[in-house]
């Protein structure tokens, strides 16, 4: 997470903590594209005013994935949120708190059923996502070549950059991939392709 300051930067200006924002970056080096859940980075550690929230940015760099995004047919994709409206984040946060309270209250019910618990948990999850996605800009970048990062050609370091990545971030060995098939617990991990289809 990196900090961003939206306040006045002129000499002598007073620091305003309410103007602090941030952006979240995640770097991946696997060939398989990130799952929908992996792309939903929450604003952890970023202060957000419920009445006048500042925008925040998430950026996922998939260095080992050279495929193109299906919807844009490009290696770089960006999403832009709707314009914020006064009090909307406070309203969404209130809805989330109510859903969480409803779940906790139901869990104390001796006659609670798994079906109803799952329903309430899904309600909490969906409302949490609405809060986390509010006023969020997202950038998804695939690949590590000059095709994606044109600045590498401009600076004349495309080959050097590729060499640096190959040394510092080598791709998973074939034997490591084979070994994972011998560990059933890994197949149930959130990032596993065996469970990726479960995310909506």
User: What is the structure's pLDDT at 1?
Assistant: 80
Half-sphere exposure of 45 (CA within 13 A, CB side): 11
User: What is the structure's pLDDT at 171?
Assistant: 62
User: What is the structure's pLDDT at 200?
Assistant: 45
CA distance 118 to 116: 5
User: What is the structure's pLDDT at 127?
Assistant: 96
Mean pLDDT per 10-residue interval, the chain, length 200 residues: 87 87 87 81 87 91 89 91 93 97 95 94 95 93 90 92 81 56 54 51
In terms of Cα–Cα distance, which of 76, 78, 79, 64 is closest to 148?
76
Contact present, 69 and 77 (Cβ < 8 Å):
yes
Maximum distance among all Cα pairs of the chain, rounded to whole angstroms: 68
CA distance 173 to 179: 10
In terms of Cα–Cα distance, which of 20, 58, 53, 21 is closest to 38?
58
User: What is the structure's pLDDT at 103?
Assistant: 96
CA distance 96 to 144: 38
Q: What distance lies between CA 67 and its chain's CA centroid?
A: 19
User: What is the structure's pLDDT at 38?
Assistant: 79
pTM greater than the 0.85 cutoff: no
CA distance 156 to 172: 28
User: What is the structure's pLDDT at 39?
Assistant: 83
């Amino acid at each position: 997470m990196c900090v961003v300051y939206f306040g006045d930067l002129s000499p002598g200006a007073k620091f305003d903590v309410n103007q602090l924002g941030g952006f979240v970056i995640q770097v991946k080096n696997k060939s398989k594209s990130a799952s929908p859940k992996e792309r939903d980075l929450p604003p952890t550690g970023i202060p957000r005013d419920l009445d006048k929230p500042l925008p925040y940015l998430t950026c996922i760099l998939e260095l080992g994935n050279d495929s193109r995004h299906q919807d844009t047919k490009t290696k770089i994709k960006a999403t832009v949120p709707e314009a914020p409206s006064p009090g909307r984040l406070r309203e969404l946060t209130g809805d989330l708190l109510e859903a969480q309270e409803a779940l906790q209250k139901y869990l104390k019910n001796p006659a609670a059923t798994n079906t109803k618990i799952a329903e309430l948990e899904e309600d909490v999850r969906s409302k949490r996502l609405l809060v986390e996605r509010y006023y969020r800009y997202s950038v998804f970048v695939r690949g590590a070549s000059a095709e994606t990062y044109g600045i590498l050609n401009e600076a004349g370091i495309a080959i050097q950059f590729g060499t640096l990545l190959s040394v510092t971030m080598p791709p998973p060995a074939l034997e490591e991939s084979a070994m994972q098939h011998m560990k059933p617990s890994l197949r149930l991990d959130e990032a596993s392709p065996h469970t990726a289809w479960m995310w909506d």
